[in-house]
Structure 1
Amino acid sequence: MAMSQSDKRFGVIGHKGRMGQAIAEAIEEAGHVLQVGVDEGGNPGPLAAQCDVLVDFSVPQALKTNLDAAKVAGVPILVGTTGLEETHFVQLAEAARSIPVLQTGNTSLGVTLLAHLVREAAAKLGPDWDIEVLEMHHRAKVDAPSGTAKLLGQAAAEARGIELSSHMESGRHGHTGARREGAIGFATLRGGTVAGEHSVIFAGVEERLTLSHSAENRAIFARGAVRGAAWLIGREPGRYRMEDVLGL
């Protein structure tokens, strides 16, 4: 049965990064304890057993090491690292056989609900409505499209029973020809200090529907990560999503 009391012991991997610092503040705000903080290049293995849950906001190259540490210690792990590739998702699936794993491109509760609404809209509106995902982030963000944009695109693809990888269109330039039927388009903007802006546009014949979310501070992601990680404690091994945290 899942634990509900406060004072849960958190291990934060990448805790000196911007998100790591925000998560440390959110842990304290929620009445929990930052038991262990692991910096870039550090090995969480010897320390993981001191924690009730691990939170990983580090780099894709460190994912296997972090998952192995969680498995050995027998503790759940929430992974918010972006820029993951297919090999990383294989590693996540393998780890989920023995521990609870929650991996997401965005821990915001608002974005979680947005993805749910995108899934509903894509299913109800049908394939004659074109889908475009627009995102903007600060100038220092290194991956594109964002993990959140991909999460929203994946929600739309799942609702339509298609593979995002084979229907994704991004970086349009030059003479591209007409829009491919069934495509899910992505547009990326970078500049300033924008924490995160995401819109999913459903374009039909003579009408459009736009579902949007604006992040004003990365603290919203930190609070969501702490809530999700705390929810994960005591769950059965398996893959979980932020939608599960909200009961969607």
Structure 2
Amino acid sequence: MNAQPLRIGIAGLNGRVGRLLAEEVPAGGAVLAGGTTRDGSPVAGIDCPVYADIAELARNCDVIIDFTHADTVVEHAAALRKVGTAWVLGTTGLSAAQQQAVDAAAREVPVVQAANFSAGVTLVTRLARQMGAALPGSDYDAEILEMHHRQKVDAPSGTALAMGRAVAEGRGIRLEDHIESGRDGHTGPRADGAIGFAALRGGQIVGEHSVIFTSGHEQIILTHRSFDRRVYATGAVRAAGWLRARAPGLYSMDNVLGLDPVAS
């Protein structure tokens, strides 16, 4: 007997990625069980139940895909934890308290959390970790360069920070202790072992990220370019399908792609 189609709900149905998810969920063979908007009003062109309450959506689906805002994370974590609904979380910029709420939810429901759901970004981040381990900060300066559309409100991007964190993990250090971001004025020489960030904004660029390692003798650059936000939607739907019947826990896109998440 065939299993019932996976019922997927979308938090933030009227957002940029939410609208793409509404197309990609049925394209991936799942059922669009509903979505949330701030006031519960329907979204033009999307035919599914719409709720203002995340808990009500959770009661009517198997997994929720969430690309909303950091301020919603604690509420969403509590609701999904109580109802027992799986969670695909792409919201970035979380505080320590907000991340603790995610971690608590993952002890009771399966959660895939990622700064970026692109398979390509996942692999570049993995390579950044390996290169961080192989190229010591005493010899190779590490810089992360990113560019996004002019409407983006945070910098560095969540993906850039994830790549920088991967470099730091490869080197066995904490990113927070070595980050250099927003250089301006007379800054003095670059600190040994620093991991630098530069953020560019303009036009409607979806996302470009480069991890740059430079020594006195050579330079290595890993670059990923996203041409369409749909790549995030398709990756998130893939993650939702992978979550089906998983045990509670906090998973990453490395898990979804069948990779060892701690390999370096």
> Which TM-score applies when normalising by structure 2?
0.90
Deviation per CA, 1:40-74: give whole Å up to 9, x if none: 36321022122111111111111111111211221
Task: Give the match's secondary structure for 2:123.
Answer: helix
Q: 1:203 aligns with which of 211, 214, 229?
A: 214
Q: How far 1:221 sits from its partner (Å)?
A: 0.6
Deviation per CA, 1:165-199: give whole Å up to 9, x if none: 11111000011111111111000000000000000
> Structure 2 regions of 5+ residues with no counterpart?
40-51, 260-264
Is 1:134 aligned to residue 132 of structure 2? Answer: no
Is 1:178 aligned to residue 189 of structure 2? Answer: yes
Checking the alignment, whether the CA contact within 8 Å between 1:134 and 1:200 is kept in structure 2 is yes
Is 1:92 aligned to residue 90 of structure 2? Answer: no
Q: Which amino acid aligns with 1:106?
A: N
Task: Give the match's secondary structure for 1:87.
Answer: helix
Pairing 1:125-164 to 2, within 5 Å after superposition: 125-127=135-137, 128-164=139-175
**Structure 2 equivalent of residue 50 of structure 1:** 60
Q: How far 1:5 sits from its partner (Å)?
A: 6.0
**Structure 2 equivalent of residue 23 of structure 1:** 21
Checking the alignment, whether the CA contact within 8 Å between 1:6 and 1:31 is kept in structure 2 is no
Q: 1:224 aligns with which of 223, 231, 235?
A: 235
Aligned counterparts of 1:174 and 1:162: Cα–Cα separation in 2: 27
Structure-2 change in CA distance of 1:6 and 1:178 (3 Å): farther
Q: 2:118 aligns with which of 99, 102, 108?
A: 108
Q: How far 1:83 sits from its partner (Å)?
A: 2.0
Q: Tell me whether 132-141 or 161-170 shows the greater mean CA deviation.
A: 161-170
**Structure 1 equivalent of residue 12 of structure 2:** 14
**Structure 1 equivalent of residue 31 of structure 2:** 33
Structure-2 change in CA distance of 1:150 and 1:5 (3 Å): farther
Checking the alignment, whether the CA contact within 8 Å between 1:153 and 1:184 is kept in structure 2 is yes
Deviation per CA, 1:56-104: give whole Å up to 9, x if none: 1111111111111211221210110122222211111111111111211
Aligned counterparts of 2:230 and 2:83: Cα–Cα separation in 1: 28
Q: Tell me whether 184-193 or 81-90 shows the greater mean CA deviation.
A: 81-90
Aligned counterparts of 2:148 and 2:4: Cα–Cα separation in 1: 33
Q: Which amino acid aligns with 2:92?
A: T
Runs of 4+ aligned structure 1 residues displaced above 3 Å come to none
Measured on the aligned residues, the alpha-carbon RMSD in Å equals 1.4
**Structure 1 equivalent of residue 46 of structure 2:** none
> Structure 1 regions of 5+ residues with no counterpart?
none
Task: Give the match's secondary structure for 1:235.
Answer: coil
Task: Give the match's secondary structure for 2:156.
Answer: coil
The structure showing larger relative contact order (alpha-carbon pairs under 8 Å, at least 6 residues apart) is 1
Task: Give the match's secondary structure for 1:93.
Answer: helix
**Structure 2 equivalent of residue 71 of structure 1:** 81
Aligned counterparts of 2:38 and 2:152: Cα–Cα separation in 1: 18
**Structure 2 equivalent of residue 80 of structure 1:** 90
Task: Give the match's secondary structure for 2:80.
Answer: helix
Q: Tell me whether 191-200 or 99-108 shows the greater mean CA deviation.
A: 99-108
Q: Which amino acid aligns with 1:123?
A: A
Q: How far 1:236 sits from its partner (Å)?
A: 1.2
Task: Give the match's secondary structure for 1:106.
Answer: coil
Q: 2:200 aligns with which of 189, 192, 199?
A: 189
**Structure 1 equivalent of residue 262 of structure 2:** none
Q: 1:212 aligns with which of 210, 215, 223?
A: 223
Checking the alignment, whether the CA contact within 8 Å between 1:119 and 1:158 is kept in structure 2 is yes
> How many residues are treated as equivalent by the alignment?
245
Checking the alignment, whether the CA contact within 8 Å between 2:143 and 2:212 is kept in structure 1 is yes
Aligned counterparts of 2:38 and 2:96: Cα–Cα separation in 1: 22
Structure-2 change in CA distance of 1:6 and 1:151 (3 Å): farther
